[in-house]
Structure 1
Amino acid sequence: MIAPTRRQLLAGAATVAVLAAAGPVFAADISTALPANAKPLPLDKVRLRPGPFAHAVETNRKYLLSLSADRLLHNYRTNAGLEPKGKVYGGWESDTIAGHTLGHYMSALALTHAQTGCSECRDRLVYIVDELETVQNAEGDGYVAGFTRKRKDGEVVDGKEIFPEIMAGDIRSGGFDLNGCWVPYYNWHKLFNGLFDAQTHCGIDKGLPIAVGLAGYIDTVFAALDDDQVETMLACEYGGLNESIAELYARTGNDRWLKLANRIYDHRVLDPLRAGEDKLPNFHANTQIPKLIGLARIYEVSGSPQDQFAARYFFDRVTHHHSYVIGGNADREYFFEPDQISRHITEQTCEHCNSYNMLKLTRHLYSWQPQAALFDYYERTHLNHILSQQHPETGGFTYMTPLMSGTVRDYSQPGEDAFWCCVGSGMESHAKHGESIFWQGEKDGRDMLLVNLYIPAEAHWAARGADMVLDTRYPYESESTLTLYGLKKPGRFPIAMRVPGFANGKAAVTVNGETFDAPVRDGYAMIDRDWAQGDTVTMAIPLDLRIESTPDDPDTIAILRGPLVLAADLGSSKDTFEGADPALVGSDLLGAFTAASPEWAVYDTQGIGRPGNLRFVPFYSQYDRRSAVYFKRFSESGWKTQEAAYLAEQARLRDIAARSVDVMHLGEMQAERDHNLESDISYPVTYRGRNGRDARSGGYFEFDMKSREGSLILQATYWGDERKRTFDIMVDGVKLATQTLEQDHPGEFFTVEYPVPAALTLGKSKLRIRFQPHDRNTAGPVFGAVLFTAKEGAPV
């Protein structure tokens, strides 16, 4: 978890005060030195200078231009009865979510044009918008989409087929699936954003009528449904469709769209947040974050205080109670119980889309009321998670950024098939690294420049006619220098430079090489003086090592230097990691760190590492390396007492991981889709913080699991207090076992292992696992299944 700073505690106190009030309206601004609101300098007025972020933008630009617009448009044209101009891509673009990448791609092209001035990106975007206009005209009713629908017989058809069914009241959703189509409203949210970004950043106005026509089609669907039916439909992930329609209202002024935006409201999730209640555990994380961005935008266009409160409360809960040290959140894509980080340090942490969207939400909140703590979070996440998500050489993207010791990052391979959701959001994240460095506002009738991120850049600030350069090697070096090399409107105005919370208000400021007494107020060094062309201001921020503990276990810790999360380097990703998770032992851990290459934040430890000395490096840079981020901390005496048990448990976990062939997280939407789950009279369940699935009498559920030849073991997890029920477990149509649950493990979850004979795995790369209840019985609930190899020599 990100440790709260004093100003975060103040913000939290303000939240508590609000919750105690009669209604969800935030207290008066706690800031006295900052503007009431702020906005970023336009992205096209900022150019990055050489450094990791500029490199990421250029790597991403090359990747974007390697893609084919016609291939991404394939399904849009075929759905409209038009001849495609390019072969469809594979991966998700050949599934029923097809078309989602195009919206991300359009936004990424627009953002890259604004960030770099790349004319080829704009030309390509003009072409795509023209093609979408052709598609919409062929449809004839405003509809335009690339997604498809899989019928019950397996035939894949145009996704448009589902909407007459929905309008007739036949609404079926398992969370991601809507009547056989994968997240169609989420898909449209990306397309709307692409059209809007084309207008905002490239002046392509032709996209707005396309958005109006599509919104009209969507409104027709909603108009056919009563409120209960809309709620049923919105059980399917809809991204930030509410944000898109609110944005359309802002651009057109048509009240029709504000009314529709307010109907796109998931009461189950959003009502508790409006009431100041954290009921996020076991919700799919990235399904929820865009809904709150949508409420933020609705607040901005309509002034609705409940929506403002929900967005701010959600941000507070996620960043302070559900986030890891790198700023990311969620385990296996799901929120878990608040403040339980140490129990969820796994290979499936920190989906990129979550952080991409949380940074969007941060920008909304900061624009309403600038607070330095918001950019403490932004900087942490942007530097440690977002920058680690793109491979700097291949341009590939991670889906998850794993924090479990020794786990390899899995980057997409740019080409035919890598079109995950996080590839799409990755295209955008790495197109706009200059968007939040500089902000502007007014205080007491005077212009104010706010510097929030220390990234090498040059920018133009129109309010003062200022041309500026920010030179820095931060976070490797403490100093950042801002030079006003052009200033058409000289005079007295304040420049506010953020002092990160980890610095505890300490910062040294010089102006034109002379010490300047800059008070630190509300998290900013305030340099208020008469400015002239050629003036420079330099701020030095201390970059000390420190320890951060998880909230639930003070002895599960991470090491940071300034904003950088440091990781122990455990070797090449090409080499197998078979050791125990490293631990740190001693009473003065930081005292045992020695700077090996301080200019790159590289440290060696002496005497405190177990099983040996460790080298620490910036976590984000471990693209092709194995890392340890979290460590168990022991005193010398504690280690002697617990060493044997700790190492034995580590060995047990490594043994299971080494023998695992596949894991199925039942009751979780993405896992069930990835494993081709099919079911009837079957329901996802949540109990005691665990997700699972059952099947009632006459029903079943079945799914694929990866396999390999030889004797395997299927392990299933159950709750030990179930009333008596009996069911069969089948493998490829062969009954493997009959299981009866009968309150025989009271008060606990337990596992059962079912040997899978080698004859059932011969020549197979996957198995079809089926749970089927006996008559008048229930199968499960099953709280997850694991398929792993039997130990050598074990009887099967």
Structure 2
Amino acid sequence: MLVGRRAFLLSSATLPMLTIPAAAQRGAGLPASARPFPLSAVRLRPSDYARAVEVNKAYLMRLSPDRLLHNFHVFAGLPAKAPVYGGWESDTIAGHTLGHYLSALALMHAQTGCGDCATRADYIIGELARCQAAHGDGYVAGFSRKRKDGSIVNGKEIFPEIMRGDIRSGGFDLNGCWVPYYNWHKLYTGLFDVIDHIGPNARAMAIAVALGGYIERVFAALGDDQVQVMLACEYGGLNESFAELHARTGDARWLRLAERIYDRRMLDPLTQKRDQLANFHANTQVPKLIGLSRLHEITGKPEQATAARFFWEQVVRHHSYVIGGNADREYFSAPDTIAQHITEQTCESCNTYNMLKLTRHLFAWEPDGALFDFYERAHLNHIMAHQEPVDGGFTYMMPLMSGAKREYSARDGEEFWCCVGTGMESHAKHGESIFWTGDDTLIVNLYIPADAQWAARGATLGLDTGYPFTGDATLTFTTLDRPGNFPVALRVPGWAKTHEVLVNGRPVDAASAGGYAIVTRRWKAGDRVTIRLPLDLRIEPTPGDAQTVAVLRGPLVLAGDLGRADGTWDKPDPSMVGDDLIAAFAPVAPQEAQYATQGIVRPGDLTFVPFYRQYDRRSAVYFKRFSDAEWKTEEAAFLAEQARQRELATRQVDVMHLGEMQPERDHQLTSEISYALVYRGRNGRDARSGGFFEFTMAVKPGPLLLQATYWGDERKRSFDILVDNQRIATQTLDADRPGSFFDVDYPIPEALTKGKTRVKVRFVPHDRNSAGPVFGVRLFAAKRGTPA
């Protein structure tokens, strides 16, 4: 069974797991299974959600289908109609955006009736059919390959190598291509979304079947162990693609292939209910579970459902942040350790997009309001923050470190990150999960202003609400061609201490089951049912660390406002000091969920506002909570660290700020397969297998120490450090100092610096390793007595 309602309340994993017998739920009017209203049956009323859809529609219309098709045309030997986009579309993952774009066009057509979206989708499918025909063997793709000599060529050339057993598979690289199977999963999803949301399309199905034949031949050439080697490269939800192809064609060959696309290392522990997610790339895994969910719906195999349910429970209860997102620097950490991972690299937006998809599968199997408590939290606080609401750009990460700012993709789009693709989809379908039905029960899961058509009852529904800023929501049967006796189930969020239900303005005693208030009566046109929920402030502890807290009001995560994003933030992280924190919050504009603190925040009080609306502001979401005595200790530790840094500064000869443009130019940095990055407010740089980075540093006579800074929770890796091409140290990082940055000093033999004013420092990863990330390098005069 899924986690019960009250166990889920705060996603803090502090309460025991509860279950709700399905029979008890059904007896009170909650159905055994459910299905959502078609997206085309729902129209949004004015709200932040409706605005997000309109902004996204304008964004989709600014994009050029021919630019997204560039590589598809070129690799098929056809003339390109437009230049390729930049960013990821000019990298070896090129083409992935086209699949997302097809899905977004189809979803937008369903959500708004946009005819231009349907026309564009049909044009793209026509061009894909032309490209596939030019290949002549079912192949169609836009991804490229980087050869060892650095040249970029058609990605198709990797597959004969793979079929011969020459498989070079890494986390994201397969024989020089960046996640080709992930790429195809996006294309398949786009094709199926066009069919589902625009209408039957014989060309789209023909493309899917012919491409399936090509992929099937690749897999058929490999033994099971070889397939496992290949699946070490991220493959998205390609298992879902072939499960879906089987469901649509009835051809058993696609089901066999879908079940063969199974990553044993990742999925076997989940079928056994073992959480081994730490250090796995998070978004690589979620689509695998969505695929298993689709397979379970076809095969009924219980282990497929077990893995999906267990994964959802573990991620939501033990690996998720307060906004519903998960992962730091794209990876899961150990369960209940997210307080150690509150950084500017939290919550990749694709992860939440996929977790919401998984949630819909689980709810369809067995309705449980706890599922939609999570869905609402992540949809409202993460997905709604994902879009820049003026020009329609998207975030990659959703930073939760105090003072961090959100980085959005450009207005006309040249980055084309994975999260740009999922963003196009997420903000085309905000009406998809409001209304559900099953066994003649009408379920309201999300309180988003909307109108809907319920075909089974010939009903027109209206949902009027100011939620989440007000606690009332009213469902009206505007028309009801087939009135009758049936249940209406209104979700009661797990955080709600009380609730009230009214029918036509009069209070009624509603039944309770599975997190719903259920009213069963003979409904007729004009009837109204209202739910009233208290929007109280509350403090929520973080899983595994009760002293790290966040502030919520109803479903909204509130954030301390730290100022404009185009300003700077160089102050200590705000903390909360006191015993009764909520008592120190005073309403400023409660209709907008704005509050101010009085005397509890250090170093100074803050105004709190909804996090998702802070797109152009800096925020504080998490706070360390201290007593007065604990706060004095915290201040003393801070002053001691400042004294240590001052002492180091007196001995400093040179400093290299890695990852910063001007210092890297000043120090003549050169590199290959190396990337600048920012993590926990620090700039840094790493080098991947086969690469390096090198720079010059000033030296002076006498014994010297080279000091490098690392993060203490890195997955295992090893690399060499060279000075003027002579190795002075080998460094291994293996998560042995979790939760902090640390410095390592490397003595430099005086013979390497004698008579010189500058030396070259080089970081080189060992094979199949990375070097760093290194968060700065300093060169010091050694203290007296330090061995050289």
TM class by shorter-chain length? 0.7 to 0.9
Comparing 631-640 with 113-122, which one deviates more in the overlay?
A: 631-640
Q: What residue identity is the alignment partner of 1:54?
A: A
How much has 1:521 moved relative to structure 2? 2.2
Alignment correspondent of 2:37? 41
* 1:739 equivalent among 729, 742, 752: 729
State the SS of the aligned residue for 2:116. Answer: helix
* 1:96 equivalent among 92, 96, 107: 92
- Kindly tell me: are residues 737 and 559 of structure 1, through their superposed partners in 2, closer, same or farther at Cα, counting changes over 3 Å? same
Aligned equivalents of 1:304, 1:139: Cα separation in 2 = 38
Please tell me whether the aligned partners of residues 50 and 456 of structure 1 are also in contact (alpha carbons under 8 angstroms): yes
* 2:136 equivalent among 125, 135, 140: 140
State the SS of the aligned residue for 2:725. Answer: strand
How much has 1:174 moved relative to structure 2? 1.7
Aligned equivalents of 1:215, 1:746: Cα separation in 2 = 45
Q: What residue identity is the alignment partner of 2:259?
A: N
Residues 546-603 of structure 1: per-residue CA shift (max 9 Å, x gap) = 0111122211100000000000001111111011100111111100100000000000
Alignment correspondent of 2:249? 252
* 2:106 equivalent among 107, 110, 125: 110
- Kindly tell me: are residues 132 and 477 of structure 1, through their superposed partners in 2, closer, same or farther at Cα, counting changes over 3 Å? same
State the SS of the aligned residue for 2:587. Answer: strand
Please tell me whether the aligned partners of residues 14 and 27 of structure 1 are also in contact (alpha carbons under 8 angstroms): no
How much has 1:394 moved relative to structure 2? 1.6
State the SS of the aligned residue for 1:633. Answer: strand
State the SS of the aligned residue for 2:168. Answer: coil
- Kindly tell me: are residues 790 and 772 of structure 1, through their superposed partners in 2, closer, same or farther at Cα, counting changes over 3 Å? closer
Aligned equivalents of 1:471, 1:642: Cα separation in 2 = 48
Residues 626-669 of structure 1: per-residue CA shift (max 9 Å, x gap) = 1100001112233234332256669999999x995339xxxxxx
Q: What TM-score, normalized to structure 2?
A: 0.87
Aligned equivalents of 1:742, 1:264: Cα separation in 2 = 34
How much has 1:339 moved relative to structure 2? 0.4
Please tell me whether the aligned partners of residues 185 and 239 of structure 1 are also in contact (alpha carbons under 8 angstroms): yes
State the SS of the aligned residue for 2:776. Answer: strand
Q: What residue identity is the alignment partner of 1:81?
A: G
Please tell me whether the aligned partners of residues 662 and 788 of structure 1 are also in contact (alpha carbons under 8 angstroms): no
Q: What TM-score, normalized to structure 1?
A: 0.86
1:744-783 equivalence runs, <5 A:
751-753=743-745, 769-771=762-764
Residues 712-746 of structure 1: per-residue CA shift (max 9 Å, x gap) = 976155999xxxx9985247xx4375116799x99
Alignment correspondent of 2:311? 314
Aligned equivalents of 1:269, 1:27: Cα separation in 2 = 30
- Kindly tell me: are residues 474 and 150 of structure 1, through their superposed partners in 2, closer, same or farther at Cα, counting changes over 3 Å? same
State the SS of the aligned residue for 1:439. Answer: strand
State the SS of the aligned residue for 1:502. Answer: coil
* 2:127 equivalent among 127, 131, 154: 131
* 1:421 equivalent among 412, 415, 418: 418
- Kindly tell me: are residues 61 and 677 of structure 1, through their superposed partners in 2, closer, same or farther at Cα, counting changes over 3 Å? same
Aligned equivalents of 2:327, 2:381: Cα separation in 1 = 16
Aligned equivalents of 2:726, 2:51: Cα separation in 1 = 54
* 1:154 equivalent among 135, 150, 155: 150
Please tell me whether the aligned partners of residues 589 and 608 of structure 1 are also in contact (alpha carbons under 8 angstroms): yes
How much has 1:141 moved relative to structure 2? 0.6
1:494 counterpart = 2:487: yes
Aligned equivalents of 1:726, 1:186: Cα separation in 2 = 29
Alignment correspondent of 2:267? 270
1:572-591 equivalence runs, <5 A:
572-591=564-583
1:679-758 equivalence runs, <5 A:
701-704=690-693, 715=708, 717=710, 728-730=720-722, 734-735=724-725, 738-739=728-729, 751-753=743-745
- Kindly tell me: are residues 718 and 553 of structure 1, through their superposed partners in 2, closer, same or farther at Cα, counting changes over 3 Å? closer
State the SS of the aligned residue for 1:434. Answer: coil
Alignment correspondent of 1:6? 6
Alignment correspondent of 1:562? 554
Q: What residue identity is the alignment partner of 2:621?
A: V
Q: What residue identity is the alignment partner of 1:301?
A: I
Please tell me whether the aligned partners of residues 142 and 210 of structure 1 are also in contact (alpha carbons under 8 angstroms): yes
Aligned equivalents of 2:617, 2:657: Cα separation in 1 = 22
Residues 382-411 of structure 1: per-residue CA shift (max 9 Å, x gap) = 000000000001201000001000001111
State the SS of the aligned residue for 2:269. Answer: helix
Please tell me whether the aligned partners of residues 771 and 779 of structure 1 are also in contact (alpha carbons under 8 angstroms): no
State the SS of the aligned residue for 2:658. Answer: strand
How much has 1:703 moved relative to structure 2? 3.5
* 2:404 equivalent among 386, 390, 407: 407
Alignment correspondent of 2:680? none
1:344 counterpart = 2:378: no
* 1:485 equivalent among 478, 491, 494: 478
Alignment correspondent of 1:22? none
Gap runs ≥5 in structure 1: 19-25, 664-673, 679-691, 762-766
State the SS of the aligned residue for 1:31. Answer: helix
Alignment correspondent of 1:59? 55
1:348-747 equivalence runs, <5 A:
348-442=345-439, 447-504=440-497, 506-646=498-638, 660-662=657-659, 676-677=673-674, 701-704=690-693, 715=708, 717=710, 728-730=720-722, 734-735=724-725, 738-739=728-729
- Kindly tell me: are residues 359 and 181 of structure 1, through their superposed partners in 2, closer, same or farther at Cα, counting changes over 3 Å? same
Alignment correspondent of 2:221? 224
Please tell me whether the aligned partners of residues 484 and 524 of structure 2 are also in contact (alpha carbons under 8 angstroms): yes
State the SS of the aligned residue for 1:467. Answer: strand
Aligned equivalents of 1:746, 1:318: Cα separation in 2 = 24
Gap runs ≥5 in structure 2: 650-654, 661-670, 676-684, 700-704
Aligned equivalents of 2:718, 2:142: Cα separation in 1 = 44
1:234-249 equivalence runs, <5 A:
234-249=231-246
Please tell me whether the aligned partners of residues 142 and 214 of structure 1 are also in contact (alpha carbons under 8 angstroms): yes
1:280 counterpart = 2:273: no
State the SS of the aligned residue for 1:373. Answer: helix
State the SS of the aligned residue for 2:98. Answer: helix
How much has 1:107 moved relative to structure 2? 0.1
Please tell me whether the aligned partners of residues 126 and 204 of structure 1 are also in contact (alpha carbons under 8 angstroms): no
Residues 92-132 of structure 1: per-residue CA shift (max 9 Å, x gap) = 00011000000000000000000000000000000000001
Aligned equivalents of 2:318, 2:709: Cα separation in 1 = 31
Alignment correspondent of 1:233? 230
Matched residue count = 736
Aligned equivalents of 1:295, 1:352: Cα separation in 2 = 21
Q: What residue identity is the alignment partner of 1:222?
A: F
RMSD over equivalenced CA pairs, Å: 3.7
Residues 760-786 of structure 1: per-residue CA shift (max 9 Å, x gap) = 79xxxxx9943277xxxx999966422
State the SS of the aligned residue for 1:539. Answer: strand
How much has 1:78 moved relative to structure 2? 0.6
Aligned equivalents of 1:105, 1:716: Cα separation in 2 = 41
- Kindly tell me: are residues 59 and 694 of structure 1, through their superposed partners in 2, closer, same or farther at Cα, counting changes over 3 Å? closer
Aligned equivalents of 2:463, 2:765: Cα separation in 1 = 64
- Kindly tell me: are residues 483 and 789 of structure 1, through their superposed partners in 2, closer, same or farther at Cα, counting changes over 3 Å? farther
- Kindly tell me: are residues 527 and 730 of structure 1, through their superposed partners in 2, closer, same or farther at Cα, counting changes over 3 Å? same
- Kindly tell me: are residues 560 and 702 of structure 1, through their superposed partners in 2, closer, same or farther at Cα, counting changes over 3 Å? same
* 2:25 equivalent among 31, 45, 56: 31
Please tell me whether the aligned partners of residues 694 and 779 of structure 1 are also in contact (alpha carbons under 8 angstroms): no
Aligned equivalents of 1:315, 1:220: Cα separation in 2 = 33
State the SS of the aligned residue for 2:764. Answer: strand
Residues 30-74 of structure 1: per-residue CA shift (max 9 Å, x gap) = 634310000000000000011100000000000000000000000
Comparing 463-472 with 632-641, which one deviates more in the overlay?
A: 632-641
Aligned equivalents of 2:227, 2:382: Cα separation in 1 = 36
- Kindly tell me: are residues 245 and 647 of structure 1, through their superposed partners in 2, closer, same or farther at Cα, counting changes over 3 Å? farther
- Kindly tell me: are residues 269 and 594 of structure 1, through their superposed partners in 2, closer, same or farther at Cα, counting changes over 3 Å? same
How much has 1:253 moved relative to structure 2? 0.5
Aligned equivalents of 2:711, 2:437: Cα separation in 1 = 56
Comparing 31-40 with 65-74, which one deviates more in the overlay?
A: 31-40
State the SS of the aligned residue for 2:50. Answer: helix
